[in-house]
Amino acid sequence: MRQIDLRSDTVTLPTPAMRQAMAVAELGDDVFGEDPTVNRLEAMAAERVGKEAAVFVPSGTMANLICLLAHCGRGEEAIIGHMAHTFLFEAGGSAAVGGIHPHTVPNQPDGSLDLAAVEAAIRDPNNAHYPRTRLICLENTHNRCSGAVLAPGYMAQVRALADRYGLRIHLDGARLFNAAVALGLPAADVARDADSVSFCLSKGLSAPVGSLVCGSAEFVRQARRQRKVLGGGMRQAGVLAAAGIVALETMVERLADDHGNARCLAEGLARLPGIVLDPASIQSNIVIFELAAGAPAPAELVAGLAARGIKMGAIGGRRIRAVTHYGIEAADIEITLEAARALLH
């Protein structure tokens, strides 16, 4: 039976061209700055996102943690959405490792943070009772907001607010290239207003491992130090970076196919009884839908689909998440809809 794994775009496997590039990659000790393949990937990443420099790190989680540690000291505060990946799913690392105080503000359904709510969360630096606010964290695309893409222009407003209070902005761009493709803009435009941006090679871009932290040359110098603190300094990491270079060269434009497949999936699911979903809200490759009261429980639908070779994730409440990616074809969406129809008739 064909397996259709829609649990996440992290399940993607490297392409044949990536495996070939990994096999022949020129290598050196990257902690000495001597791996030519890592150096090439870092230069390419910085150029793509429009920042001065970049550093290759093992994961998106470490990328975000490095950025928070580089921006904030112990007892300082980062304003962050209550549904941000960094807040929900990164094991509280910034608090555990960095003593950084997260100050949550509600995410809007479009992934944004209301500007007035952000402003209200900024602390008076002259009041000794308060932690000192340092950072505003945003996420684009937004995982828990169904892959929502931040509206162009929104970040410029956050930038203006941050500048008024002397704050920095970190963008969790794990799926930055999905946002860029969805908007039809260069990734550099999407990341322009952020002081630091992280992005993942191992999600929709399908490389096996790795993320990049990008920012000013000085910021990246700090980030390299934090990477070392966390044990993320890798040696002949060019074997991994080689796949990342192929990812940036060959896997960005095709993300549009994933977005088209997600939209088809959402449109088909929205027509089924018991499913609550507005397909027009799906902007990238993540489809989150709800099962109405009276419909099967999410665990039941997920199990029924799994028995037909289709994997989705129940993500709490009555919600289920499906993510399209490299390896999922238009025909797989038809098979998935057929199976869901049979289970929900």
Ligand X SMILES: Cc1ncc(COP(=O)(O)O)c(C=O)c1O
DSSP symbols for 180-242: HHHHTS-HHHHHTT-SEEEEESSSTT--SS-EEEEE-HHHHHHHHHHHHHTT---SSTHHHHH
Task: Tell me the CB-side half-sphere exposure of residue 237, using CA atoms within 13 A.
Answer: 26
| 178 φ/ψ sector (left φ>0, alpha ψ -120 to 50, else beta) | alpha
Query: Of 61 and 206, which has the nearer Cβ to ligand X?
Result: 61
Instruction: Determine the interface stretch with ligand X among 54-62, 118-126, 148-156, 312-320 (rule: CB under 6 A).
Output: 54-62
Smallest distance, Å, CB 178 to ligand X?
10
AA letter at 312: M
Instruction: Determine the interface stretch with ligand X among 60-68, 116-124, 152-160, 254-262 (rule: CB under 6 A).
Output: 60-68
AA letter at 287: V
Query: Of 20 and 104, which has the nearer Cβ to ligand X?
Result: 104
For 75, the token pair is 């007892």
Residue 42 within binding range of ligand X, rule CB under 6 A:
no
Query: Of 57 and 333, which has the nearer Cβ to ligand X?
Result: 57
Smallest distance, Å, CB 142 to ligand X?
7
Query: Of 15 and 141, which has the nearer Cβ to ligand X?
Result: 141
Q: Count of residues binding ligand X (CB under 6 A)?
A: 13
Site pattern 125..164 for ligand X (x: CB under 6 A): --------------x---x---------------------
Residue 61 within binding range of ligand X, rule CB under 6 A:
yes
Residue 60 within binding range of ligand X, rule CB under 6 A:
yes
Query: Of 107 and 211, which has the nearer Cβ to ligand X?
Result: 211
Answer for which of 59, 104, 236, 281 binds ligand X (CB under 6 A) is 59
Cβ 291 vs Cβ 276: under 8 Å: yes
Site pattern 161..200 for ligand X (x: CB under 6 A): -----------x-x-------------------------x
Cβ 86 vs Cβ 94: under 8 Å: yes
Cβ 255 vs Cβ 181: under 8 Å: yes
Smallest distance, Å, CB 323 to ligand X?
9
Question: Reduced to 3 states, what is the DSSP secondary structure of residue 173?
Answer: coil
| 75 φ/ψ sector (left φ>0, alpha ψ -120 to 50, else beta) | left
Cis peptide before 141 (omega within 30 of 0): yes
Of 172, 167, 165, nearest to 144 (Cα)?
172
Site pattern 240..269 for ligand X (x: CB under 6 A): ------------------------------
DSSP conformation class of 279 = G
Nearest residue to ligand X by CB is 60
Binding interface with ligand X (CB under 6 A): 10, 59-61, 64, 85, 139, 143, 172, 174, 200, 202, 211
